[in-house]
Structure 1
């Protein structure tokens, strides 16, 4: 089965390219172009009045799409921002004590690691890191203010399956549990209904949501972090009648909002979700397509000198295969010279799969690897 017709603009823009980095920069489907155009046309037509439309129907539609995808009971717990780092900073700012005792996996993304290292350097945080398989046990055995963990680890593709165990530790007074869902959202079926009242969840549109940059979101459980110290005027969007000097906050996820932003990502995200609905493409169905391509590649054994860190199994699987070997960086560069786009992290070559690929694309990749 091929879905290339949904990506005709991106594929025709560079027809000789093999793009196996959907986990890094997902090619944009045609629907996202329609969404981008709609954002421009609304701005031209409504001018200053566009914000009522954006913060109303556009915003609400995006919230509903996310709530349905994650089985969240209340779409109003969702806030949007240009990046997930904004939300990390605001959540951290809401913790009243210093230094903040933080527990995380040893495989978190660069932006988290850099920001946490700077907070540790400044005396704002004390950081403990453990392997993903020891996270829950470590959290249960010690006192922490913040527990931060990726649902799917960006470097290895390992999946943390005990979200319920982490959620059981969360309390409004602390610890707070933050799940980074960037490599899980719309990549593996995720049901947060049983833990939505206790965990924060952050993700965005850059990867498997196929919506590009600038459309990240946070699910904020009610009663947790009611007054972030780092805040913008949109966090009081419906509370502008307060007396001068009073700092009011929205009671829903809006308490984590910043200030004026580029809304085009919301338009793209909504357009892509409508496309998926029209095509009957749920996350499990897309994952099944990807799993077939991954199996085809694995069975070919085109990288015998590398070790596959995340072999396929019967359960959920990341949308990329992580191959570890000393020649990862050189092979990545060699492939790029052949117009094959992959991704490398240290000695790990990541090969990502998506809707815009079919078996013929995988065969071409296998042939190129065998000929190196």
Structure 2
């Protein structure tokens, strides 16, 4: 079992006694990211406007290379960055035909689900939603629905409100060859081993540092497959980088992932993200090990539930299910009361309606799980 608690000393030491079981929401940051935050400030002080040569040069390329390696993407240049994934939602939607036909699921996160529902209210999009549970049935449901023809298919790799996971290759096949396909990987990236090499030419993939990548907010990314959606209407001036040296007719765009760029942003998240990924490499920790570690913690938690008042039978996704993310979700009629009770006992979890979510990560060992179980008892 991994024991990396010493490398999270600032987050874990800020409130001794607090048990944080919300890695799926706001993952603690390793200490290496604190130095990176200061490095971002110092870079601005030293270089002022010249900092952008550093940010959009070596730092940008290192972030691209490290994320591409984790996802087995053939070309790091297909990646671009933004402060949050909602920016990418807007740019992708802006590149579609008027009143696009959208195929999605009932389990998408608010960055997409809320936005598409609001557009639907205005009659600006036509939306078909397939049930997201159970996860293994999603590709077949998508394939059946996709026969009607759509402009956009949007599906999570791991559903935020259940923990069910889907296979990116199966979803890509189900979407068919014509629609724009977006895989929301925010609960999958660095939680489950993910190989996009077979679908990199076909599927957009977005995620960020807020959760399992441990870089915090301000560093979301998008893999944009070559040739798809070359000219988003929602565009910032950074999207012209790579096209500025050519003939300037109309509104030029970069040909690679930069075509989805916006404009001036706070680069500190990029500094932190690169630092977190460097730290993992230095420790020799792989995504497969992170996933295995989280599963072992979850299994110990479920095995110890007897007498706590929580019932493992209420799990939305079984603890031993291979197609599961790194958090557990219990469907409880009194989920709000459980959430408040745990909070009063110094345990951080979160709740989505009747579902209590508990996340596990590499800043924990069995000791933290045993302490959680002890606090669950009446």
TM range (shorter): over 0.9
Count of matched residue pairs: 368
CA distance in 2, matches of 1:167, 1:223: 19
In the alignment, the residues of structure 2 paired with residue 143 and residue 252 of structure 1 have an alpha-carbon distance, to the nearest angstrom, of 27
| Residues 269 and 232 of structure 1, relative CA distance in 2, 3 Å threshold | same
| TM-fit CA distance, 1:71 | 0.3
Structure-1 residue corresponding to 2:320: 313
1:153 aligns with 2:159: yes
1:191 & 1:111 partners in 2: Cα distance? 24
Gaps of 5+ in 1: none
Q: Is the aligned partner of 1:304 residue 2:311?
A: yes
Q: Does 2:237 align with 1:236?
A: no
The answer (yes or no) to whether the contact 1:167–1:177 under 8 Å persists in 2 is: no
**For residue 114 of structure 1, what is the aligned residue in structure 2?**
114
Alignment of 1:74 onto 2:75: yes
Alpha-carbon distance between aligned partners in 2 of 1:200 and 1:162, rounded to the nearest angstrom: 11
Cα distance in 2, alignment partners of residues 35 and 332 from structure 1: 34
Give the structure 1 partner of residue 260 of structure 2: 256
Greater displacement, 306-315 / 28-37? 306-315
CA displacement 1:152-199 (0-9 Å, x = unmatched):
00000001125344246454xx41100000000000000000000000
**For residue 90 of structure 2, what is the aligned residue in structure 1?**
89
Matched with 1:192 is 196
2:143 matched to which residue of 1?
A: 137
Aligned counterparts of 1:304 and 1:158: Cα–Cα separation in 2: 19
**8 Å CA contact retained: 1:36, 1:264:** yes
Q: After the TM superposition, which residues 166-205 of structure 1 pair with which residues of structure 2 at under 5 Å, given as runs?
A: 166-167=172-173, 169-171=175-177, 174-205=178-209
2:23 is matched with 22
Compared CA separation, residues 169 and 117, structure 1 to 2 (3 A): closer
Residue 99 (structure 1) shift: 1.3
**Alpha-carbon distance in structure 2 between the residues aligned to 1:119 and 1:136:** 22
What is the alpha-carbon distance in structure 2 between the residues aligned to residue 294 and residue 78 of structure 1? 33
Q: Secondary structure at the match of 1:45?
A: helix
Rounded Cα–Cα distance in structure 2 between residues aligned with 1:317 and 1:238 = 40
CA contact (8 A) 2:166 2:323 kept: no
Determine if contact 2:146/2:175 at 8 Å carries over to the other structure.
yes
RMSD over aligned CA atoms reads 1.6
Q: Please tell me whether the aligned partners of residues 170 and 176 of structure 1 are also in contact (alpha carbons under 8 angstroms).
A: no
Per-residue deviation at 1:246? 2.2
Contact 2:301–2:369, Cα closer than 8 Å, also in 1: yes
Q: 1:337 and 2:340 equivalent?
A: no
1:192-214 per-residue CA deviation (whole Å, 9 max, x = no partner) reads 00000000000000000000001
Secondary structure at the aligned position of 2:205 is classed as strand
Contact preservation (8 Å) 1:101, 1:146: yes
TM-score normalised to the size of structure 1?
0.95
1:272 matches 2:268: no
Report SS of the residue matched to 2:281: helix
With over 3 angstroms needed to count, the CA separation of the structure-2 counterparts of 1:12 and 1:84, relative to structure 1, is same
Given that residues 85 and 220 in structure 2 are in contact (C-alpha distance below 8 angstroms), is that contact kept between their aligned partners in structure 1?
A: yes
Q: Contact 1:146 / 1:176 at 8 angstroms: preserved in 2?
A: yes
Q: What's the offset of the Cα at 1:112?
A: 1.4
Are the equivalent residues in 2 in contact too, given 1:305–1:325 (CA < 8 A)?
no
* Residue matched to 2:214: 210
2:375 pairs with 1:368: yes
- Structure 1 residues 170 and 264, CA gap change in structure 2 (3 angstroms): farther
Distance apart, 1:316 and its partner CA: 4.6
Alpha-carbon contact 1:73-1:193 (below 8 Å) kept: yes
